Amino acid sequence: MSALQASTLWTSSSATAAPAASTSRRMTINAALNFPKIHKTNLSLSLPILQTRRFIEEIQFKTSDPAEKNPEDPLVVAKLHALMEAVADRAEMHSNVCEQRNNWNSLLLTSVNGLILAAATMAGIAAVGGGASLHALKLSSTLLYVSATGILAVMNKIQPSQLAEEQRNAARLFRNLHSQIRTTLSTGNAQNDDVSEAMQRVLALDKAYPLPLLGAMLEKFPAAVEPAVWWPKQPRRQRTEIGGNNNDWNRELEEDMREVMKVMKKKDREDYLRLGNKALKLNKILAISGPVLTGLAAIGALLAGPSAAVVGVGAGALAAVVNTLQHGGQVGMVFEMYRSNAGFFKMVQDSIDSNLEEEDLQRRENGQLFEMKVALKLGRSLSELKDLAAKSRSLQNEEIDEFASKLF
Q: Note the pLDDT tens digit of each residue in 125-146.
A: 887 766 667 888 888 999 999 9
Q: Which residue has the higher pLDDT, 229 or 29?
A: 229
pLDDT value at residue 241: 57
Number of H helices and number of E strands within the chain? 12, 0
**Domain assignment of residue 408, yes or no:** no
Q: What is the mean pLDDT of residues 18-32?
A: 40
Q: What is the mean pLDDT of residues 105-130?
A: 89
Q: Give the C-alpha distances (Å, rounded to integers) separating 88 from 81, 95, 207.
A: 11, 11, 17
Work out how many domains the chain is built from and give that number.
1
Residue type, 328: G
Q: Angle 160-187/74-128 helices, nearest 10 degrees?
A: 170
pLDDT value at residue 72: 73
**Domain assignment of residue 56, yes or no:** no
Given a contact cutoff of 8 angstroms between Cβ atoms, the answer to whether 129 and 137 are in contact is: yes
**Domain assignment of residue 318, yes or no:** yes
**Domain assignment of residue 1, yes or no:** no
What end-to-end distance do the CA atoms of the chain give, in Å?
124
Q: Give the C-alpha distances (Å, rounded to integers) separating 273 from 263, 281, 317, 353.
A: 15, 12, 33, 21
**Domain assignment of residue 188, yes or no:** yes
- Tell me which residue range forms the domain holding 191: 69-216+249-395
**Domain assignment of residue 16, yes or no:** no
Given a contact cutoff of 8 angstroms between Cβ atoms, the answer to whether 345 and 264 are in contact is: yes
- What digits encode the pLDDT tens for the residues 137-175? 888 999 999 999 999 999 999 999 999 999 999 999 999
**Domain assignment of residue 229, yes or no:** no
